[in-house]
Amino acid sequence: MSKTEDTDRIERQIELKAPVSRVWRALADAREFASWFGFTLEHGEFAPGAEVRGRIRHKGYEHVVFAATVVQMDPERLISWRWHPAAVEAGVDYSAEPTTLVTFELKKLGNGTLLKVVESGFASLPPHRRVSAHRMNGEGWDHQMIAIERHVDKSGQS
């Protein structure tokens, strides 16, 4: 896994030992995505303009709702969505804050897939949240790269 960061964006990439079609399914099927990302899907499917929602399952964050609005889908190449980053404090309404854009890009790499994730837009967040949201999400993407790798390896390459 490689990392690139500046104050406005987070970039991660990982080489997965699974074909592009398998990785795409893990990203574009809302139920499958929820299973490895760590939330219980309550609403939605991945489609441009649609919202996907569900309750986070990670210990200590069960009060948090995953909510993302899909921006773009280009099958087996790119999916992107917007969300409120690090919106984890109980009782706080983040709806008036700007969102960040999360983009997953897939490229065939031999028999596997190069997956690149970029989250951008941290500079538009309120100053009091900018640094902590960037730090939390950077750590989160480190975890999620491992999670998707385990998921596509464990679930086979079909």
Q: Is the pTM of this model over 0.75?
A: yes
Q: Is the pLDDT of residue 70 over 80?
A: yes
**Average pLDDT in the 87-94 region?**
92
Q: Is the pLDDT of residue 45 over 80?
A: yes
Q: Which helix (H) or strand (E) holds 92?
A: none
- Count of CB atoms situated within 10 Å of the CB of 128: 8
* CA distance readout (Å), 21 to 6, 16, 80, 100, 119: 31, 12, 17, 26, 23
Instruction: State the total domains in the chain.
Output: 1
**Average pLDDT in the 63-75 region?**
96
In this prediction, residue 7 has a pLDDT band, given cuts at 50, 70 and 90, of confident
Provide the CATH number for the domain around residue 108.
3.30.530.20
Sheet holding 51-56, edge to edge: 2-5, 9-16, 112-120, 100-109, 78-83, 65-74, 51-56, 39-43
Q: For 105-120, how does the pLDDT look when each residue is reduced to its tens digit (9 = 90+)?
A: 999 999 999 999 999 9
Q: Return the half-sphere exposure (C-beta side, CA atoms, 13 A cut-off) of residue 7.
A: 7
Closest CA to 16 of 78, 138, 119, 108: 108
110: buried, middle or exposed (CB in 10 Å: 19+, 13-18, 0-12)? exposed
Residue numbers of the domain that contains 100: 2-154
Kindly state the percentage of the chain with pLDDT values over 90. 89
Residue 19: DSSP 8-state: -
In this prediction, residue 158 has a pLDDT band, given cuts at 50, 70 and 90, of very low
Q: Which helix (H) or strand (E) holds 50?
A: none
Which are the contacts of 133, defined by CB distance < 8 A and separation ≥ 6? 85, 86, 100, 122, 125
Cα(46)–Cα(73) distance, rounded to whole angstroms?
Answer: 8
Q: What is the pLDDT of residue 157?
A: 45
In this prediction, residue 82 has a pLDDT band, given cuts at 50, 70 and 90, of very high
**Average pLDDT in the 144-153 region?**
96
Alpha helices in the chain (DSSP H): 20-28, 30-37, 127-154
Q: Is the pLDDT of residue 101 over 70?
A: yes
